[in-house]
Structure 1
Amino acid sequence: MKGLIFDNIGLKVSAVLLSVFLWFFVASRGQSEISFEAPLEFRDIPADLGIVSSSTKSVMLTIRGQERFVKSLNASNIGVFINMSKAREGEGIYHVSKEDIKVPFAISVTGVEPSAIKVKLEERVARSVPVKVSIIGTTRGNATVSTTVDPKNVVISGLKSDVSQIHFIKTEEVDISDIRDTVTENLELDTTGLNIVPAVSKVSVKFTFTEKKR
């Protein structure tokens, strides 16, 4: 009996190996590998810092999985995240690992390019700047229109290099051609093209109409 068991062990091992091979063969059928460009998301940036620039805003992933799952992939179900909680001011290299990539079940990531991202961070600052009323048009005859702004100054915040370049902030344009009386209006602050955030979005402006006697 013992001899019979050992006589058949070779056949049993062969059968197990064949089963494993067949399993891998079946499992690999329908597998597909593609390249997928995914946007980068920087998370947990310290509150006193902001990103000035990064060497790339996306990475190319090599993704493998069942063809039917791979074909259904889109930007909404893939995420590439870089944890910036320990970031410091200045330029640094931050690495993307497979653990930083979110993909659906049954999908695997076999490659990331680039895997090292150069990121420059800068201090966030705030300061007060005066408000200027943006006026167009002219008054008729001897009339004049003066303005009083409340508040006269607003606090703006942003990256240090952006805030340092701003010496005042304008309101939306106001045409004074048709003003015939003293009026007060709430005007939006114009931040077009400015990488800053004002503490308030509107200011109150009093337009005082004066007609000089001839």
Structure 2
Amino acid sequence: MALELGEKLKAAFTENLNLKFIAFVLALLLYSLFHGAQDAQRTMTVNLVALMPPESADRVLVSSMPPSVRLTLRGSRSALDDLHSDDIGYLQIDVHLGSERRVTLDPGMVHVPPSVRVEQIDPPAIDLVWEDRVTRDVPIQVSVVGTPAPGFVVKGVPQADPATVRVRGPKSEVLVLQHVRADPFDVSGLTEGSFPRHLAIDRPTGRVLPDLATQSVLVTAEITREVVERPFVKIPVAVVGQAKGKSQPNEVDVRLVCPPEILRALRPEQVVPKATVHSTAASGSESVAIEVGVEGCEAHTTPSSVVVRW
């Protein structure tokens, strides 16, 4: 019994094999045709291209624009399966006037095969914000990094030549821009002198652009010896040239500006304000400038002169 059943099953698979194969192929073909003709839906992303205003219009788009949009497509399954982004290309919008506030994306703007239609575009519209483009000169700011050689300091602020750079961009950004930065000036190990260097200009943030002709700036840093100040109060005035001369006032305040190493070694008795009388008359009076001779130091006296009587 089992043997007969096995023979029947074998015959069912092997008899008329060619006819069965043809029937199988026809079934696959019919399934493929029926399945491919079914209505289907597909989403696809395409690039968004905008026709912007010319430079001469001086209009700037300050709102963001999506780089691409999402399409919802409907058509036969076979047509959608064969469709690629390159077949559609890109979606172009025309905003060359620089005054459009809202652009609606219409399915008719997308080129697709006749058997495919665009059901939806996401986003369906784009809101735009425009500003006038303005030009303005702003100062160049230079910062200092590093430390000069011991005993030396940077004198003042490094000077840029030119001192300003012309920038252009949206009005709201250009008018609030305080400065444009140059690369930091490295003063490491420098001693006394003047040091010019060409430094690159950093691009401002946002949509502001510097003048393309000004990519770098000449910056000069002055390095001088480090100095400190020390006051000496109510120092007696020494009258020179007249032994009997008396000064009015007879005391002055002295302020010395010196390198630190000189000032540290200076003793108060070395600070002697002098009033030198050049007159040889037996008696009289004369207004005389005060002199303080401390080598390597700059002296300032208050008052700067006294009246000597003899």
Q: Same fold (TM over 0.5)?
A: yes
User: How far did residue 164 of structure 1 move?
Assistant: 1.5
Partner of 1:15: none
Using the alignment, how far apart are the partners of 2:112 and 2:194 within structure 1? 62
Q: In structure 2, do the counterparts of structure 1 residues 192 and 159 end up closer, same or farther at CA, with 3 Å as the change threshold?
A: closer
User: How far did residue 185 of structure 1 move?
Assistant: 1.8
Q: In structure 2, do the counterparts of structure 1 residues 62 and 135 end up closer, same or farther at CA, with 3 Å as the change threshold?
A: same
The within-5 A match list for 1:151-166 is 151-166=162-177
1:60 to 2:70 alignment: yes
The answer on whether the counterparts of 1:69 and 1:107 sit within 8 Å (CA) in structure 2 is no
Partner of 2:202: 190
Q: In structure 2, do the counterparts of structure 1 residues 151 and 104 end up closer, same or farther at CA, with 3 Å as the change threshold?
A: farther
The within-5 A match list for 1:1-214 is 29=37, 33-47=41-55, 48-54=58-64, 58-64=68-74, 66-70=79-83, 72-73=84-85, 78-88=89-99, 92-101=101-110, 109-139=118-148, 140-145=150-155, 147-180=158-191, 181-191=193-203, 193-199=205-211, 200-211=214-225, 214=259
| Bigger fraction of residues in strand | 1
- What TM-score comes out, normalization by structure 2 length? 0.50
Aligned-residue CA RMSD (Å): 3.3
User: How far did residue 160 of structure 1 move?
Assistant: 0.8
Q: Number of paired residues?
A: 186
Which structure has more relative contact order (CA 8 Å, sep 6+)? It is: 1
- Unaligned 5+ runs, structure 1: 1-24
Using the alignment, how far apart are the partners of 2:112 and 2:189 within structure 1? 60
- Unaligned 5+ runs, structure 2: 1-32, 227-257, 260-310
Please list the CA deviations of residues 127-146 of structure 1 after superposition, one character each: whole Å capped at 9, or x if unmatched: 00011112123323134355
Q: In structure 2, do the counterparts of structure 1 residues 58 and 211 end up closer, same or farther at CA, with 3 Å as the change threshold?
A: same
Using the alignment, how far apart are the partners of 1:69 and 1:178 within structure 2? 69
- What TM-score comes out, normalization by structure 1 length? 0.70
Q: Give the share of equivalent positions with the same residue, in percent.
A: 25
